[in-house]
Amino acid sequence: MWNTVLFDLDGTLSDSAPGITRCVQYALEKEFGIIRKPEELIEFVGPPLKEQFMLYTGCNDEMGERAVDRYRERYRPVGIFENSLYPGIPELLLQLRNEGFRIALSSSKPEEFCHQILETFEIAQYFDVVCGSDMEGRHTDKAEVVEEVLHRLGMENRREEVVLVGDRKYDIIGGKQRGVGTIGVSYGYGSREELELEWPDCIVDTVTELRNVLIGQARAGRRNENSAGTPAGRAERKRSDGGSVYKVWRIVYPMLLHFAVVNLTAILFSGFYVLFRIITDDSLLDVGAAIQSQMLLLTGLGDAILIPIAWLFFREDEKKRISKGFRERILVQNTFNISEIVSVTIMVIGISCLLNLLIAFLPVNDAEYQEIAEEMFKHNGIVIQLVVIGILAPVSEELIFRGLIFRRIRDYAGFMWAAVASGLFFGIYHGNLTQGIFAFVMGMLFAAIYEHYGTLWASIAAHMANNIFATLENNLLDKIDVPDFAYLIFVIVIGAAGIALMYRALAGGKRVNEI
Protein backbone atom coordinates (compact mmCIF):
# COMPACT_ATOMS: atom_id res chain seq x y z
CA MET A 1 0.00 0.00 0.00
CA TRP A 2 1.35 3.44 -0.95
CA ASN A 3 1.25 5.96 1.88
CA THR A 4 3.89 8.39 0.59
CA VAL A 5 3.60 10.31 -2.69
CA LEU A 6 6.47 11.98 -4.54
CA PHE A 7 5.13 14.53 -7.00
CA ASP A 8 6.92 15.86 -10.05
CA LEU A 9 6.25 19.59 -10.49
CA ASP A 10 6.14 20.68 -14.13
CA GLY A 11 3.33 18.94 -16.00
CA THR A 12 2.09 17.12 -12.90
CA LEU A 13 1.15 19.77 -10.36
CA SER A 14 1.41 22.85 -12.53
CA ASP A 15 1.15 23.91 -16.16
CA SER A 16 4.54 25.62 -16.42
CA ALA A 17 4.99 25.26 -20.19
CA PRO A 18 4.39 28.94 -21.05
CA GLY A 19 7.19 30.14 -18.76
CA ILE A 20 9.63 27.36 -19.60
CA THR A 21 9.21 27.49 -23.38
CA ARG A 22 9.45 31.29 -23.52
CA CYS A 23 12.63 31.20 -21.45
CA VAL A 24 14.08 28.48 -23.70
CA GLN A 25 13.11 30.60 -26.71
CA TYR A 26 15.01 33.51 -25.15
CA ALA A 27 18.10 31.37 -24.39
CA LEU A 28 18.25 29.80 -27.86
CA GLU A 29 18.07 33.18 -29.56
CA LYS A 30 20.60 34.91 -27.27
CA GLU A 31 23.13 32.06 -27.06
CA PHE A 32 22.81 30.28 -30.39
CA GLY A 33 20.90 32.66 -32.67
CA ILE A 34 18.18 30.04 -33.10
CA ILE A 35 14.67 31.43 -33.58
CA ARG A 36 11.82 29.18 -32.48
CA LYS A 37 8.21 29.63 -31.41
CA PRO A 38 7.39 28.63 -27.79
CA GLU A 39 4.98 25.91 -28.92
CA GLU A 40 7.88 24.26 -30.81
CA LEU A 41 9.88 23.85 -27.59
CA ILE A 42 7.51 21.78 -25.45
CA GLU A 43 10.11 18.97 -25.29
CA PHE A 44 12.12 21.12 -22.86
CA VAL A 45 9.42 20.70 -20.22
CA GLY A 46 10.43 17.87 -17.91
CA PRO A 47 13.99 16.78 -18.72
CA PRO A 48 17.08 18.41 -17.13
CA LEU A 49 17.70 21.69 -18.95
CA LYS A 50 21.42 21.48 -19.70
CA GLU A 51 21.16 17.99 -21.18
CA GLN A 52 18.17 19.05 -23.26
CA PHE A 53 19.98 22.14 -24.61
CA MET A 54 22.94 19.92 -25.53
CA LEU A 55 20.66 17.39 -27.22
CA TYR A 56 18.69 20.05 -29.06
CA THR A 57 21.64 22.13 -30.34
CA GLY A 58 24.49 19.61 -30.36
CA CYS A 59 26.56 21.94 -28.17
CA ASN A 60 29.17 20.89 -25.60
CA ASP A 61 28.86 20.88 -21.81
CA GLU A 62 30.18 24.42 -21.36
CA MET A 63 27.79 25.92 -23.91
CA GLY A 64 24.94 23.96 -22.33
CA GLU A 65 25.69 25.61 -18.97
CA ARG A 66 25.77 29.05 -20.61
CA ALA A 67 22.39 28.33 -22.21
CA VAL A 68 20.98 27.49 -18.77
CA ASP A 69 22.34 30.80 -17.43
CA ARG A 70 20.61 32.63 -20.30
CA TYR A 71 17.41 30.71 -19.54
CA ARG A 72 17.54 31.87 -15.92
CA GLU A 73 18.04 35.51 -16.94
CA ARG A 74 14.42 35.52 -18.00
CA TYR A 75 13.11 32.79 -15.72
CA ARG A 76 13.92 34.46 -12.37
CA PRO A 77 12.05 37.72 -12.92
CA VAL A 78 9.35 36.60 -15.39
CA GLY A 79 9.16 32.96 -16.41
CA ILE A 80 8.62 31.50 -12.95
CA PHE A 81 5.30 33.34 -12.74
CA GLU A 82 4.09 32.22 -16.20
CA ASN A 83 2.68 29.18 -14.51
CA SER A 84 -0.62 27.86 -13.12
CA LEU A 85 -1.80 24.89 -11.07
CA TYR A 86 -3.88 22.25 -12.78
CA PRO A 87 -7.52 22.40 -11.61
CA GLY A 88 -8.11 20.27 -8.53
CA ILE A 89 -4.48 20.09 -7.34
CA PRO A 90 -4.96 22.04 -4.05
CA GLU A 91 -8.01 19.89 -3.24
CA LEU A 92 -6.06 16.73 -4.06
CA LEU A 93 -3.21 17.69 -1.74
CA LEU A 94 -5.63 18.55 1.07
CA GLN A 95 -7.48 15.25 0.71
CA LEU A 96 -4.23 13.28 0.66
CA ARG A 97 -3.21 15.04 3.86
CA ASN A 98 -6.55 14.24 5.46
CA GLU A 99 -6.08 10.59 4.47
CA GLY A 100 -2.72 10.48 6.26
CA PHE A 101 -0.38 10.52 3.25
CA ARG A 102 3.13 11.95 3.43
CA ILE A 103 3.76 14.23 0.44
CA ALA A 104 7.06 15.27 -1.14
CA LEU A 105 8.16 17.15 -4.23
CA SER A 106 10.69 15.46 -6.50
CA SER A 107 11.72 17.77 -9.35
CA SER A 108 14.69 18.33 -11.65
CA LYS A 109 14.05 22.06 -11.29
CA PRO A 110 16.38 23.92 -8.87
CA GLU A 111 15.15 23.51 -5.33
CA GLU A 112 15.13 27.26 -4.75
CA PHE A 113 12.64 27.71 -7.60
CA CYS A 114 10.53 24.79 -6.34
CA HIS A 115 10.07 26.43 -2.95
CA GLN A 116 9.20 29.74 -4.56
CA ILE A 117 6.58 28.19 -6.83
CA LEU A 118 4.91 26.20 -4.03
CA GLU A 119 4.75 29.28 -1.83
CA THR A 120 3.37 31.40 -4.68
CA PHE A 121 0.55 28.89 -5.17
CA GLU A 122 0.05 28.62 -1.38
CA ILE A 123 0.45 24.84 -1.32
CA ALA A 124 3.87 24.60 0.39
CA GLN A 125 2.22 23.59 3.69
CA TYR A 126 1.20 20.22 2.24
CA PHE A 127 4.77 19.03 1.57
CA ASP A 128 6.96 17.22 4.10
CA VAL A 129 9.99 17.44 1.81
CA VAL A 130 10.82 19.57 -1.24
CA CYS A 131 13.75 18.28 -3.26
CA GLY A 132 15.23 19.51 -6.53
CA SER A 133 18.56 20.11 -8.22
CA ASP A 134 21.08 22.74 -7.14
CA MET A 135 21.76 26.01 -8.96
CA GLU A 136 25.01 24.64 -10.38
CA GLY A 137 23.08 22.04 -12.35
CA ARG A 138 24.03 19.04 -10.21
CA HIS A 139 21.58 16.30 -9.15
CA THR A 140 19.20 16.87 -12.07
CA ASP A 141 18.88 13.16 -12.83
CA LYS A 142 15.43 11.98 -11.67
CA ALA A 143 16.76 8.84 -10.01
CA GLU A 144 19.19 10.94 -7.94
CA VAL A 145 16.43 13.30 -6.88
CA VAL A 146 14.18 10.39 -5.87
CA GLU A 147 16.95 8.84 -3.81
CA GLU A 148 17.56 12.13 -2.01
CA VAL A 149 13.84 12.45 -1.23
CA LEU A 150 13.79 8.91 0.19
CA HIS A 151 16.79 9.76 2.35
CA ARG A 152 15.17 12.93 3.71
CA LEU A 153 11.95 11.08 4.44
CA GLY A 154 13.76 8.14 6.03
CA MET A 155 12.06 5.77 3.58
CA GLU A 156 15.11 4.03 2.10
CA ASN A 157 14.03 0.70 3.59
CA ARG A 158 10.31 1.17 2.91
CA ARG A 159 10.31 1.83 -0.81
CA GLU A 160 7.25 -0.33 -1.39
CA GLU A 161 5.20 2.32 0.45
CA VAL A 162 6.30 5.11 -1.92
CA VAL A 163 4.90 6.10 -5.32
CA LEU A 164 6.25 8.68 -7.76
CA VAL A 165 3.74 10.65 -9.85
CA GLY A 166 5.01 12.26 -13.04
CA ASP A 167 4.09 13.12 -16.61
CA ARG A 168 7.24 12.17 -18.58
CA LYS A 169 9.15 8.97 -19.22
CA TYR A 170 12.09 10.38 -17.22
CA ASP A 171 9.90 10.34 -14.11
CA ILE A 172 8.83 6.73 -14.63
CA ILE A 173 12.37 5.59 -15.42
CA GLY A 174 13.78 7.40 -12.37
CA GLY A 175 11.17 5.97 -10.06
CA LYS A 176 11.67 2.43 -11.31
CA GLN A 177 15.44 2.71 -10.95
CA ARG A 178 14.97 3.53 -7.26
CA GLY A 179 12.41 0.82 -6.60
CA VAL A 180 9.33 2.92 -5.92
CA GLY A 181 5.87 2.69 -7.46
CA THR A 182 5.11 4.88 -10.46
CA ILE A 183 1.98 6.61 -11.77
CA GLY A 184 2.00 8.40 -15.11
CA VAL A 185 -0.33 11.36 -15.68
CA SER A 186 -1.31 11.85 -19.30
CA TYR A 187 -2.78 15.33 -18.72
CA GLY A 188 0.78 16.74 -18.57
CA TYR A 189 3.38 17.09 -21.32
CA GLY A 190 4.14 13.45 -21.99
CA SER A 191 1.79 11.48 -24.20
CA ARG A 192 0.06 8.31 -23.05
CA GLU A 193 2.12 6.42 -25.64
CA GLU A 194 5.37 7.74 -24.12
CA LEU A 195 4.27 6.67 -20.67
CA GLU A 196 3.01 3.24 -21.76
CA LEU A 197 6.44 2.38 -23.18
CA GLU A 198 7.91 2.60 -19.66
CA TRP A 199 5.23 0.41 -18.00
CA PRO A 200 4.30 2.48 -14.94
CA ASP A 201 2.08 0.84 -12.34
CA CYS A 202 -0.80 3.02 -13.48
CA ILE A 203 -1.64 5.78 -15.98
CA VAL A 204 -4.36 8.32 -15.21
CA ASP A 205 -5.91 10.96 -17.45
CA THR A 206 -7.19 13.49 -14.89
CA VAL A 207 -6.47 14.81 -11.43
CA THR A 208 -9.71 13.18 -10.25
CA GLU A 209 -8.53 9.76 -11.46
CA LEU A 210 -5.19 10.31 -9.74
CA ARG A 211 -6.94 11.03 -6.46
CA ASN A 212 -9.22 8.02 -6.86
CA VAL A 213 -6.26 5.70 -7.44
CA LEU A 214 -4.21 7.01 -4.52
CA ILE A 215 -6.99 7.21 -1.95
CA GLY A 216 -8.80 4.13 -3.22
CA GLN A 217 -5.76 1.87 -2.89
CA ALA A 218 -4.95 3.30 0.53
CA ARG A 219 -8.43 2.64 1.84
CA ALA A 220 -8.49 -0.84 0.36
CA GLY A 221 -5.14 -1.54 2.00
CA ARG A 222 -6.31 -0.29 5.36
CA ARG A 223 -9.47 -2.38 5.16
CA ASN A 224 -7.36 -5.46 4.50
CA GLU A 225 -4.69 -4.94 7.12
CA ASN A 226 -5.94 -2.80 9.95
CA SER A 227 -8.56 -2.12 12.52
CA ALA A 228 -11.79 -2.52 10.57
CA GLY A 229 -11.31 -6.22 9.95
CA THR A 230 -9.74 -7.21 13.26
CA PRO A 231 -11.60 -8.11 16.46
CA ALA A 232 -10.06 -5.08 18.16
CA GLY A 233 -11.16 -2.80 15.34
CA ARG A 234 -14.71 -4.15 15.35
CA ALA A 235 -14.87 -3.77 19.12
CA GLU A 236 -13.68 -0.16 18.88
CA ARG A 237 -16.35 0.70 16.31
CA LYS A 238 -19.01 -1.03 18.37
CA ARG A 239 -18.05 0.95 21.46
CA SER A 240 -17.97 4.19 19.50
CA ASP A 241 -21.28 3.55 17.73
CA GLY A 242 -23.17 2.74 20.92
CA GLY A 243 -26.00 0.27 21.44
CA SER A 244 -28.96 -0.53 19.20
CA VAL A 245 -31.30 1.90 20.92
CA TYR A 246 -28.82 4.74 20.52
CA LYS A 247 -28.29 3.89 16.83
CA VAL A 248 -32.02 3.90 16.15
CA TRP A 249 -32.37 7.22 17.95
CA ARG A 250 -29.55 8.79 15.92
CA ILE A 251 -31.25 7.66 12.70
CA VAL A 252 -34.77 8.73 13.65
CA TYR A 253 -34.35 12.03 15.49
CA PRO A 254 -33.24 14.10 12.43
CA MET A 255 -36.65 13.42 10.85
CA LEU A 256 -38.36 14.34 14.13
CA LEU A 257 -36.23 17.49 14.25
CA HIS A 258 -37.39 18.48 10.77
CA PHE A 259 -41.02 17.83 11.68
CA ALA A 260 -40.72 19.72 14.97
CA VAL A 261 -39.00 22.83 13.60
CA VAL A 262 -41.27 23.22 10.56
CA ASN A 263 -44.48 22.61 12.52
CA LEU A 264 -43.42 24.62 15.57
CA THR A 265 -42.79 27.56 13.25
CA ALA A 266 -46.34 27.22 11.88
CA ILE A 267 -47.83 26.87 15.38
CA LEU A 268 -46.00 29.93 16.71
CA PHE A 269 -47.03 32.00 13.71
CA SER A 270 -50.62 30.83 14.07
CA GLY A 271 -50.61 31.76 17.74
CA PHE A 272 -49.24 35.24 17.07
CA TYR A 273 -51.72 35.68 14.24
CA VAL A 274 -54.69 34.72 16.45
CA LEU A 275 -53.41 37.02 19.22
CA PHE A 276 -53.10 39.86 16.72
CA ARG A 277 -56.68 39.31 15.51
CA ILE A 278 -57.96 39.32 19.10
CA ILE A 279 -56.07 42.52 19.96
CA THR A 280 -57.40 44.27 16.85
CA ASP A 281 -60.97 42.99 17.53
CA ASP A 282 -61.09 41.24 14.16
CA SER A 283 -63.24 38.19 13.57
CA LEU A 284 -61.62 34.81 14.08
CA LEU A 285 -63.95 33.01 11.68
CA ASP A 286 -61.52 32.99 8.78
CA VAL A 287 -58.31 32.45 10.80
CA GLY A 288 -57.92 28.83 9.71
CA ALA A 289 -58.26 29.67 6.04
CA ALA A 290 -55.85 32.60 6.36
CA ILE A 291 -53.21 30.44 8.06
CA GLN A 292 -53.72 27.65 5.50
CA SER A 293 -53.12 30.10 2.68
CA GLN A 294 -49.73 30.99 4.16
CA MET A 295 -48.55 27.44 4.89
CA LEU A 296 -46.04 27.49 2.03
CA LEU A 297 -44.36 30.59 3.43
CA LEU A 298 -44.40 29.09 6.92
CA THR A 299 -42.82 25.91 5.62
CA GLY A 300 -40.09 27.95 3.96
CA LEU A 301 -39.45 29.86 7.18
CA GLY A 302 -39.20 26.57 9.07
CA ASP A 303 -36.72 25.24 6.50
CA ALA A 304 -34.62 28.41 6.76
CA ILE A 305 -34.44 28.00 10.54
CA LEU A 306 -33.64 24.31 10.26
CA ILE A 307 -30.78 24.56 7.73
CA PRO A 308 -28.06 25.96 10.06
CA ILE A 309 -29.11 23.56 12.84
CA ALA A 310 -28.92 20.52 10.56
CA TRP A 311 -25.61 21.75 9.10
CA LEU A 312 -24.05 21.79 12.58
CA PHE A 313 -25.12 18.19 13.20
CA PHE A 314 -23.78 17.20 9.77
CA ARG A 315 -20.38 18.81 10.39
CA GLU A 316 -20.11 17.19 13.82
CA ASP A 317 -20.71 13.78 12.27
CA GLU A 318 -17.92 14.39 9.73
CA LYS A 319 -15.51 15.52 12.44
CA LYS A 320 -16.26 12.39 14.47
CA ARG A 321 -15.58 10.10 11.50
CA ILE A 322 -12.21 11.78 10.95
CA SER A 323 -11.18 12.01 14.61
CA LYS A 324 -12.08 8.36 15.26
CA GLY A 325 -10.12 7.24 12.23
CA PHE A 326 -13.16 5.64 10.56
CA ARG A 327 -11.83 6.43 7.11
CA GLU A 328 -14.01 3.90 5.31
CA ARG A 329 -16.95 6.04 6.45
CA ILE A 330 -15.56 9.22 4.86
CA LEU A 331 -16.69 9.87 1.29
CA VAL A 332 -14.08 10.77 -1.31
CA GLN A 333 -15.20 13.76 -3.36
CA ASN A 334 -15.30 13.31 -7.13
CA THR A 335 -15.30 16.16 -9.61
CA PHE A 336 -18.58 18.10 -9.51
CA ASN A 337 -18.32 20.97 -11.97
CA ILE A 338 -20.73 22.75 -14.32
CA SER A 339 -20.86 19.87 -16.80
CA GLU A 340 -21.62 17.44 -13.98
CA ILE A 341 -24.39 19.72 -12.67
CA VAL A 342 -25.97 19.80 -16.14
CA SER A 343 -25.70 16.01 -16.37
CA VAL A 344 -27.29 15.52 -12.94
CA THR A 345 -30.07 17.98 -13.81
CA ILE A 346 -31.03 16.13 -16.99
CA MET A 347 -30.70 12.79 -15.20
CA VAL A 348 -33.01 13.75 -12.35
CA ILE A 349 -35.63 15.47 -14.53
CA GLY A 350 -35.71 12.48 -16.88
CA ILE A 351 -36.08 9.92 -14.09
CA SER A 352 -38.73 12.01 -12.28
CA CYS A 353 -40.80 12.42 -15.48
CA LEU A 354 -40.77 8.68 -16.11
CA LEU A 355 -41.60 7.95 -12.49
CA ASN A 356 -44.55 10.34 -12.49
CA LEU A 357 -45.82 8.73 -15.67
CA LEU A 358 -45.66 5.28 -14.08
CA ILE A 359 -47.34 6.47 -10.87
CA ALA A 360 -50.19 7.92 -12.94
CA PHE A 361 -51.12 4.36 -13.96
CA LEU A 362 -51.34 3.18 -10.36
CA PRO A 363 -54.79 2.93 -8.70
CA VAL A 364 -53.93 5.72 -6.27
CA ASN A 365 -56.28 8.62 -5.55
CA ASP A 366 -55.00 11.30 -3.17
CA ALA A 367 -57.78 13.79 -3.80
CA GLU A 368 -57.47 15.29 -0.32
CA TYR A 369 -53.78 16.00 -0.78
CA GLN A 370 -54.41 17.54 -4.20
CA GLU A 371 -57.04 19.82 -2.74
CA ILE A 372 -54.80 21.00 0.11
CA ALA A 373 -51.85 21.54 -2.29
CA GLU A 374 -53.92 23.57 -4.74
CA GLU A 375 -55.28 25.73 -1.91
CA MET A 376 -51.79 26.33 -0.56
CA PHE A 377 -50.17 27.11 -3.91
CA LYS A 378 -52.83 29.38 -5.37
CA HIS A 379 -52.15 32.05 -2.70
CA ASN A 380 -48.41 32.18 -3.48
CA GLY A 381 -46.77 33.36 -6.70
CA ILE A 382 -44.23 31.41 -8.69
CA VAL A 383 -41.27 33.32 -7.19
CA ILE A 384 -42.21 32.29 -3.64
CA GLN A 385 -42.80 28.73 -4.80
CA LEU A 386 -39.36 28.59 -6.46
CA VAL A 387 -37.61 29.96 -3.37
CA VAL A 388 -39.39 27.67 -0.89
CA ILE A 389 -39.87 24.52 -2.96
CA GLY A 390 -36.89 24.91 -5.30
CA ILE A 391 -34.21 26.12 -2.88
CA LEU A 392 -35.00 26.00 0.85
CA ALA A 393 -36.78 22.62 0.90
CA PRO A 394 -34.04 20.75 -1.04
CA VAL A 395 -31.27 22.12 1.18
CA SER A 396 -33.03 21.30 4.46
CA GLU A 397 -34.29 17.89 3.31
CA GLU A 398 -30.92 16.83 1.90
CA LEU A 399 -29.17 17.80 5.13
CA ILE A 400 -31.68 15.76 7.12
CA PHE A 401 -32.38 12.75 4.92
CA ARG A 402 -29.05 12.32 3.13
CA GLY A 403 -26.52 14.25 5.23
CA LEU A 404 -27.71 12.77 8.53
CA ILE A 405 -30.07 9.80 8.11
CA PHE A 406 -28.46 8.22 5.02
CA ARG A 407 -24.90 8.77 6.24
CA ARG A 408 -25.62 7.40 9.70
CA ILE A 409 -27.26 4.24 8.37
CA ARG A 410 -24.36 3.93 5.93
CA ASP A 411 -21.94 4.03 8.88
CA TYR A 412 -23.69 1.04 10.42
CA ALA A 413 -24.88 -1.03 7.44
CA GLY A 414 -23.24 0.15 4.19
CA PHE A 415 -24.54 1.99 1.15
CA MET A 416 -27.38 -0.23 -0.13
CA TRP A 417 -29.23 -0.56 3.16
CA ALA A 418 -28.71 3.15 3.81
CA ALA A 419 -30.07 4.17 0.39
CA VAL A 420 -33.18 2.00 0.72
CA ALA A 421 -33.89 2.85 4.38
CA SER A 422 -33.33 6.60 4.01
CA GLY A 423 -35.49 6.57 0.86
CA LEU A 424 -38.23 4.82 2.83
CA PHE A 425 -38.02 7.43 5.61
CA PHE A 426 -38.16 10.16 2.96
CA GLY A 427 -41.25 8.61 1.37
CA ILE A 428 -43.11 8.10 4.66
CA TYR A 429 -42.34 11.66 5.73
CA HIS A 430 -44.27 13.06 2.77
CA GLY A 431 -47.48 11.77 4.33
CA ASN A 432 -49.45 10.52 1.32
CA LEU A 433 -49.17 7.55 -1.01
CA THR A 434 -48.58 9.37 -4.31
CA GLN A 435 -45.81 11.59 -2.97
CA GLY A 436 -44.54 8.76 -0.80
CA ILE A 437 -43.86 6.42 -3.73
CA PHE A 438 -42.20 9.22 -5.70
CA ALA A 439 -40.09 10.39 -2.74
CA PHE A 440 -38.99 6.82 -1.92
CA VAL A 441 -37.55 6.23 -5.39
CA MET A 442 -36.09 9.72 -5.78
CA GLY A 443 -34.63 9.51 -2.27
CA MET A 444 -32.66 6.43 -3.27
CA LEU A 445 -31.48 8.22 -6.43
CA PHE A 446 -30.37 11.26 -4.40
CA ALA A 447 -28.46 8.92 -2.07
CA ALA A 448 -26.71 7.29 -5.04
CA ILE A 449 -25.77 10.71 -6.44
CA TYR A 450 -24.41 11.77 -3.04
CA GLU A 451 -22.39 8.55 -2.75
CA HIS A 452 -20.98 8.80 -6.26
CA TYR A 453 -19.92 12.43 -6.16
CA GLY A 454 -18.94 12.34 -2.49
CA THR A 455 -20.41 15.75 -1.73
CA LEU A 456 -23.81 16.72 -0.33
CA TRP A 457 -23.90 19.59 -2.85
CA ALA A 458 -24.48 16.98 -5.57
CA SER A 459 -27.68 15.62 -4.01
CA ILE A 460 -28.79 19.16 -3.15
CA ALA A 461 -28.33 20.19 -6.80
CA ALA A 462 -30.24 17.09 -7.93
CA HIS A 463 -33.09 17.79 -5.48
CA MET A 464 -33.22 21.44 -6.56
CA ALA A 465 -33.37 20.45 -10.23
CA ASN A 466 -36.28 18.11 -9.55
CA ASN A 467 -38.25 20.61 -7.47
CA ILE A 468 -37.65 23.61 -9.72
CA PHE A 469 -38.71 21.63 -12.79
CA ALA A 470 -41.84 20.35 -11.02
CA THR A 471 -42.74 23.87 -9.87
CA LEU A 472 -42.34 25.34 -13.34
CA GLU A 473 -44.26 22.45 -14.85
CA ASN A 474 -47.17 22.86 -12.41
CA ASN A 475 -47.34 26.60 -13.03
CA LEU A 476 -46.86 26.68 -16.78
CA LEU A 477 -48.27 23.46 -18.16
CA ASP A 478 -51.87 24.42 -17.42
CA LYS A 479 -51.35 27.74 -19.21
CA ILE A 480 -49.93 26.14 -22.33
CA ASP A 481 -52.07 23.83 -24.40
CA VAL A 482 -49.63 20.94 -24.85
CA PRO A 483 -51.09 17.88 -26.62
CA ASP A 484 -50.88 14.69 -24.60
CA PHE A 485 -48.99 12.96 -27.41
CA ALA A 486 -46.34 15.72 -27.50
CA TYR A 487 -45.92 15.57 -23.73
CA LEU A 488 -45.58 11.78 -23.87
CA ILE A 489 -42.84 12.08 -26.51
CA PHE A 490 -41.05 14.61 -24.30
CA VAL A 491 -41.23 12.29 -21.28
CA ILE A 492 -39.89 9.33 -23.27
CA VAL A 493 -36.98 11.34 -24.71
CA ILE A 494 -35.98 13.08 -21.47
CA GLY A 495 -36.51 9.82 -19.57
CA ALA A 496 -34.21 7.90 -21.91
CA ALA A 497 -31.59 10.62 -21.55
CA GLY A 498 -31.96 10.46 -17.76
CA ILE A 499 -31.49 6.69 -17.66
CA ALA A 500 -28.46 6.87 -19.97
CA LEU A 501 -26.83 9.58 -17.86
CA MET A 502 -27.61 7.68 -14.66
CA TYR A 503 -25.93 4.58 -16.04
CA ARG A 504 -22.90 6.54 -17.29
CA ALA A 505 -22.36 8.33 -13.98
CA LEU A 506 -23.42 5.79 -11.36
CA ALA A 507 -22.68 2.47 -13.05
CA GLY A 508 -20.02 3.20 -15.65
CA GLY A 509 -18.18 6.15 -14.08
CA LYS A 510 -14.94 5.98 -12.12
CA ARG A 511 -15.55 5.88 -8.38
CA VAL A 512 -13.90 5.16 -5.05
CA ASN A 513 -16.97 5.11 -2.79
CA GLU A 514 -19.19 2.06 -2.26
CA ILE A 515 -21.77 2.47 -5.02
> Which residues are known catalytic residues?
8
Q: What is the CATH number of the domain that holds 148?
A: 3.40.50.1000
Q: Do 257 and 144 belong to one domain?
A: no
Q: Do 278 and 193 belong to one domain?
A: no
Q: How far apart are CA 511 and CA 515, in angstroms?
A: 8
Q: Shortest CA distance to 172 belongs to which of 183, 162, 161?
A: 183
The whole-number pLDDT of residue 89 equals 95
Q: How far apart are CA 222 and CA 133, in angstroms?
A: 35
Helices (H), 226-294: 231-241, 244-279, 287-293
Q: Do 90 and 60 belong to one domain?
A: no
Indicate yes or no: pTM above 0.75.
no
Q: What angle do CA 42, 46, 51 make, to 5 degrees?
A: 95
**How does pLDDT run across 306-327, given as a tens digit for each residue?**
999 999 999 998 888 866 667 6
Helix (H, G, I), strand (E, B) or coil at 165: strand
481 Rama class: left (phi>0) / alpha (psi -120 to 50) / beta: beta
The whole-number pLDDT of residue 308 equals 96
**How does pLDDT run across 15-63, given as a tens digit for each residue?**
888 888 999 999 999 889 999 998 888 888 777 788 889 999 999 988 9
The whole-number pLDDT of residue 104 equals 96
**How does pLDDT run across 125-153, given as a tens digit for each residue?**
999 999 998 766 566 688 899 999 999 99
Q: Do 189 and 329 belong to one domain?
A: no
Please state, in angstroms and as integers, the Cα–Cα distance from residue 190 to each residue in 142, 174, 180, following that order. Answer: 15, 15, 20
Q: Do 462 and 315 belong to one domain?
A: yes
Q: Do 64 and 137 belong to one domain?
A: no
User: Residue 213's domain spans which residues?
Assistant: 4-10+85-225
Q: Shortest CA distance to 261 belongs to which of 298, 288, 210?
A: 298
Name which residue leads in pLDDT, 209 or 138.
209
Q: What is the CATH number of the domain that holds 60?
A: 1.10.150.240
Contact between 240 and 329 (Cβ < 8 Å):
no
Q: Do 57 and 179 belong to one domain?
A: no
Over the chain, what is the mean pLDDT? Answer: 86
Contact between 105 and 115 (Cβ < 8 Å):
no
Q: How many domains does the chain have?
A: 3
Cα first-last separation, the chain: 22
Neighbours of 444 (CB within 10 A): 21
Residue at a domain's end among 203, 225, 247: 225
Contact between 12 and 167 (Cβ < 8 Å):
yes
